[in-house]
Chains A and B, each alone.
Chain A
Amino acid sequence: MKKYTIRDKKNSILPKISLILIWLILSLMVNNDIIIPGIGVTLENILKLVKDSNFPVTILMTFFRTLMVFLISTLLSVILASLSSVSESFYSHIRPVLSLMASVPILALILLALIWLNVETVAIFVGIVFILPIQFEKVLDGINSIDEKILQMAKVYKVKKMVRIRDIYIPSILIALSSIANSTMASALKMVIAGEVLSQPRYSIGSNLILQKTYLNTPGVFAWIIIILLMSKTLSKIIDVLRKKAFPHDRM
Chain B
Amino acid sequence: MTYTIRNLSKSFNELKVLENLSMEIKREGITCIMGPSGCGKTTLLNIIAGLSTADSGEVIGFEDKLSYVFQEDRLIPWKSVEENIHFVLKGRMENGEITSTTNKFLSMVGLEEYKNYYPNALSGGMKQRISILRAFVYPADLMLLDEPFSSLDLARKNNLIQFFKDLVLKENRCVILVSHDMDVAIQLSNKIIVLSDKPTRVKKVLDNIYRIEEREENYIKMKKLLEMEL
Main secondary structure of the interface of B (DSSP, over half): loop
Q: Which residues in B have their C-beta under 8 angstroms from that of A167?
A: 76, 79, 87, 90
Q: Which residue of chain B has its CB nearest to the CB of A162?
A: B91
Which one of B49, B72, B87, B138 has the greatest number of beta carbons of chain A within 10 Å?
B87
Q: Which of B62-70, B151-159, B206-214, B221-229 contacts A (4 or more CB under 8 A)?
A: B62-70
Q: Which residues in A have their C-beta under 8 angstroms from that of B78?
A: 171, 175, 247, 249-250
Interface size on B, residues (CB 8 A): 25
Which one of A154, A157, A159 has the greatest number of beta carbons of chain B within 10 Å?
A157
Q: How far apart are the CA atoms of A247 and B83 in the complex, in Å?
A: 14
Interface size class of A (residues with CB under 8 A): 20 to 34
Can you list, as one digit per residue, whether each of B83-118 has a CB less than 8 Å from chain A (1) or not (0)?
000011011000000000000000000000000001
| B74-A150 in contact (CB<8A) | yes
Give chain A nearest CB distance to B13 CB in angstroms: 19
Q: Which residues in A have their C-beta under 8 angstroms from that of B70?
A: 149, 153
Q: How far apart are the CA atoms of A171 and B83 in the complex, in Å?
A: 13
Which one of A167, A249, A252 has the greatest number of beta carbons of chain B within 10 Å?
A249
Q: Which residues in B have their C-beta under 8 angstroms from that of A16?
A: none
If A167-B79, A249-B118, A249-B120 touch, whether A157 touches B74 (CB-CB below 8 Å) is: no
A149 interface neighbour in B74, B88, B91, Cβ under 8 Å: B74
B118 interface neighbour in A149, A160, A163, A248, Cβ under 8 Å: A248
If A248-B118, A252-B121 touch, whether A157 touches B67 (CB-CB below 8 Å) is: yes
Q: Which residue of chain A has its CB nearest to the CB of B135?
A: A157
Q: Which residues in A have their C-beta under 8 angstroms from that of B64?
A: 158
Give chain A nearest CB distance to B76 CB in angstroms: 6
Q: 4 nearest interchain CB pairs?
A: A249-B118, A157-B88, A153-B74, A156-B68
